[in-house]
Amino acid sequence: MVTPVKKNDRKTVYIEDLTHDGNGVAKIDGYPLFIRGALPQETVEVHVLKTLKNYGFAKVVEILESSPDRVKAPCIYFGPCGGCQLQHLSYEGQLKWKENMVRNVMKRIGKIDVPVLPVKGMKDPWNYRNKSQIPFSITETGPVAGFYKMKSHEIVDMERCLIQVSEADSMMANLKKELTDIGLQPYNEATHQGMLRHVVVRKGRVTGEVMIVLITKSRKFPQKEQAIEVIQRLVPNVTSIVQNVNSEKTNVIFGNETITLWGKDSIEDTIGGVRFEISARSFYQVNPVQTEVLYKQALDYAQLTGDETVIDAYCGIGTISLFLAQNAKSVMGVEIVEQAIEDAKRNAELNGFTNTYFEAGPAEEVIPRWYKEGKEADVLVVDPPRKGCDEALLNTIIEQRPKRVVYVSCNPATLARDLRILEDGGYKTMEVQPVDMFPQTTHVECVALMSRVEK
Ligand code: SAH
């Protein structure tokens, strides 16, 4: 195997690009080297760490010419922690990079020439996360809590995270110190011993309500009462303490059984004047400030006059559905998680909507059936998980030809792929608006508007 560089070589390289996981990319005779911590437009001396057949990895020895957008990362855990990838890039630089990345993906994967608008960013891109899932474990030095290193299950022991709310900091920094006192052992993945696996913190931005979820290996644990007291002391504004039981040997965070230990079963939050009840396991966007921007964009693209019937596919707890219901004749939401549909129905009631209908099931099965039953839609909104829409759903859209499709996506690659399929089926992508839901990370959310091409 001949590669242009080999392990332990030193090279001076120019960084051309940034990968989706935040590594700088340099090319040596066309051979890509991925370099952690390097930014586009920089000239860097690197030390080659590893070479594979088609690409290699290197680390920065010295930055010879720095990017005009480089800043000092404010967080002391930046680098080891896998949570953020872009703290060394100015926020303006992050937004520019995201815009270009979406534009390139649309062209390269979707073969779509569509206006991609500048990313809608945040005024203050910190402390935005309203939900943190904090793994706990035990090492030789005692209990640890923080976030995982990138692509690993090794915890970076942390006291603070600059993108989460202060209540989550409080649990992260202090709970581990208290655990030994009350005799509650953190869980050890390797040995399957111990009790406390994760602590999940959720906060309603507008209401200030806080839920703390303890994910434990067994249902019974003798320190329950003390744990409640400790949490109340560490987070005085807590309104709900919940236990979730996960006894499996698995990477999945939540188990099936959820028990309220103290306070309410759920917390409430408000987005754009619509109220939502959120229970421990339901999906709720993690950046409430930008969620409002995102949903307003989706509503804008839906161009509702009040006469339309709308389908909201992958509706979660009905957030987008209820936003749309304010301006539509009726909205039908479908979602695979039953508990989320229960929440959606309750949320519709809570807000006094009478023009919504929710059903649990796979969108790719429920929507074709709705059409067969004569339930048609003028506008269809989809907001699938990272893997994108099921092909059966895309085919149904192409057959049924709603006037407009509004596609909300957290993964530009699958968005581009699906837009291509819909374009081939008689739609035109009018515009893509990226929204920065995840500052300091490489993730970006997009809303795309597609219109039916009249034949
Ligand atoms: N629109 C909601 C949720 C978007 S997240 C919001 O903005 O809050 C994507 C949702 O799709 C999740 O709630 C997930 O449970 C759901 N989902 C995943 N696969 C699905 C499928 N095949 N059919 C319907 N819903 C699905």
**Stated pTM of the model:** 0.93
**Is 455 a residue whose pLDDT tops 80?**
no
pLDDT 10s digits, 354-366: 999 999 999 999 9
**Is 350 a residue whose pLDDT tops 70?**
yes
Q: Which two tokens stand for residue 320?
A: 């987008």
Q: CA 339, CA 316: separation in Å to the nearest integer?
A: 9
Verify that 307 and 259 share a domain, yes or no. Answer: no
Verify that 166 and 115 share a domain, yes or no. Answer: no
Verify that 110 and 140 share a domain, yes or no. Answer: no
Confidence of residue 282 (pLDDT cuts 50, 70, 90): confident
Residue 374 included in any domain:
yes
Using the mean position of ligand 1's atoms as its centre, give its distance from the Cα of residue 328 in Å: 21
**How far apart, in Å, do the first and last CA atoms of the chain sit?**
55
Verify that 217 and 351 share a domain, yes or no. Answer: no
SS (H, E, C) 182-223: HCCCECECCCCECCEEEEEEEECCCCCCEEEEEEECCCCCCC
Q: How many CA atoms lie within 13 A of 298 on its CB side?
A: 34
316 lines ligand 1 (CB under 6 A): yes
442 lines ligand 1 (CB under 6 A): no
Q: What is the mean pLDDT of residues 407-434?
A: 98
Using the mean position of ligand 1's atoms as its centre, give its distance from the Cα of residue 99 in Å: 25
Verify that 200 and 147 share a domain, yes or no. Answer: yes
pLDDT 10s digits, 71-83: 999 999 999 999 9
Q: Which amino acid is at 279?
A: S
The predicted pLDDT at position 448 comes to 98
For the chain, what is the mean pLDDT?
Answer: 96
Q: What is the mean pLDDT of residues 27-45?
A: 96
Decide if 306 contacts 454 (C-beta within 8 A). Answer: no
**Is 1 a residue whose pLDDT tops 90?**
no
Closest CA to 408 of 328, 331, 305, 300: 300
Verify that 114 and 222 share a domain, yes or no. Answer: no
Test site for ligand 1: of 283, 312, 356, 397, most ligand atoms within 8 A of the Cβ: 283
Verify that 185 and 301 share a domain, yes or no. Answer: no
Q: Which two tokens stand for residue 154?
A: 């090794």
Contacts of 226 (CB under 8 A, 6+ apart): 182, 184
Verify that 353 and 232 share a domain, yes or no. Answer: no
Domain with 25 in it: 10-65
pLDDT 10s digits, 370-394: 999 999 999 999 999 999 999 999 9
Instruction: Tell me how many domains the chain contains.
Output: 3
Closest CA to 289 of 86, 124, 411, 99: 124
Residue with more model confidence, 181 or 383: 383
